[in-house]
Structure 1
């Protein structure tokens, strides 16, 4: 059976004009003149014998028939676009490139990554670690994960979890002298911290109402993952992020000498480009990591 279809160029012009609400913007998007768009719309209206737009002094507006046709046409064009992308997928279409801080990678993501690979065996993962925020214009990445006080601007994003601070140390440290019975006793302990998080100790101590503890002293590391390792080896007390020490607390490798847990304004956000269609590999990763984050917080 022969399909009875209107001119495809006219359909593209109609879809762009209806979506943009303006012949000029539609012309810019299609790289043609405004006159060409207007002629395509007129051709389509003649072919359909239906008026699609109301033309007025203040611009164009879809007629009821135009609105109905636009709704069905947009679905059809979306399906064609999706099928075309699926056909054109290259091996790189299944390469997921992630940029994130080293501590998040080591302490949280990598221990869970086998579960992602089991669910999505076609997706290969490439991890780059950095404390610098992602620049999607320059970085060759699909996804970034970083600690932010508020959602990233101009990007698609999902909040994974908020930060909660608490001191942690090796169990053996509690058996040594000097004692570590109350927060003020931290004045006599080696304080461990990350150079990238210089204010965490002060934030926790202020919430605990403790004064006289010099947070400038102690052992400072390039990243928090090294400080967590130092804490596990008994070098001192680390002010940690709860999400990164849950497993160690559950296993007894680390202990929390005090009950006080201090929420911060920060949170870990997953972000991706908002100015282009979201690749399926990114959608799959977002779905998976959101479920993992929810499970880890429960």
Structure 2
């Protein structure tokens, strides 16, 4: 007899949204659009014939039925993940599983992975991508993750738990060359500022640390910092960015620097999972990553 189960994609959308409390963050983690995840949640609830979420501010919260269902789905996913990792380990395939922001993965890491694989051809890198600025710090650590890469020292100045410093991070203002921008003493005037979703505190932290004041008439939000950089290139506003993620655009002249860059020495860190010893593959990856940063 065929199993009477919803599609796995519906369950993955439900589990991620329930765990993260947000369709946007679930879409980031799953590599799907907000609309695709919303549609899967709708179809799941139609099949269940009962709602499992209720509105909570700007996010979602499980109702009583949803909480009970989530407990079962989460246990099932944990067991699947555990057995999956055991099967991979049984093949003696070296791997490192890390959590990082989608921006870091797309702009910096993936273009350089060929170098890592040339040094360690039998090691595989598995990515768990998180939202643009939180870097996985707000997500529940998954069983298979060796460590989380975190760089957003503006909104998270203090790193909790055990961590390994890898490189400095620098934050400053950038815009298209012809975008209107006026300076009066320590105050900057421009029409629109560009921010990652729900991360306006980055601007507050930057102003407090630099002594500058920002006067903008409006604000645009995008789910990833690399999209903020792209928006600035097209002339939509001024973005507050980590320098390495806009370096290519600054070098090409598509963007210009509008302020000094505020640097946090050792601000790019690998946050270790409590009680988990680093595997040889994970150690090799961190050594390579640190070296790659130094060479740049």
Q: 2:167 aligns with which of 156, 161, 164?
A: 161
CA RMSD of aligned residues (A): 3.0
Structure 1 residues without counterparts, runs of 5 or longer: 1-87
TM-score (norm 1): 0.57
Matches of 1:183 and 1:230 in 2, distance apart? 27
Corresponding position of 2:72? none
Aligned length: 200
Higher percent of residues as strand: 2
Q: Pairwise mapping of residues 58-77 of structure 1 onto structure 2 (< 5 A)?
A: none
Alignment partner of 2:194: what SS?
A: strand
Check whether the contact 2:188–2:215 (CA below 8 A) recurs between aligned residues: yes
Check whether the contact 1:194–1:220 (CA below 8 A) recurs between aligned residues: yes
Matches of 2:214 and 2:239 in 1, distance apart? 18
Matches of 1:221 and 1:265 in 2, distance apart? 27
Q: Pairwise mapping of residues 91-170 of structure 1 onto structure 2 (< 5 A)?
A: 91=91, 93-130=93-130, 131=134, 132-133=136-137, 135-136=140-141, 138-147=142-151, 148-153=156-161, 155=162, 157-170=163-176
Distance 1:253 1:120, change over 3 A: farther
Kindly provide the CA deviation profile for residues 48-68 of structure 1, in whole angstroms up to 9, marking residues without a partner as x.
xxxxxxxxxxxxxxxxxxxxx
Alignment partner of 2:116: what SS?
A: helix
Structure 2 residues without counterparts, runs of 5 or longer: 1-87
Check whether the contact 1:169–1:254 (CA below 8 A) recurs between aligned residues: yes
Matches of 1:233 and 1:127 in 2, distance apart? 29
Distance 1:253 1:294, change over 3 A: same
Distance 1:255 1:114, change over 3 A: farther
Matches of 1:196 and 1:91 in 2, distance apart? 42
TM-score (norm 2): 0.58
CA radius of gyration, larger in = 1
Distance 1:236 1:151, change over 3 A: closer
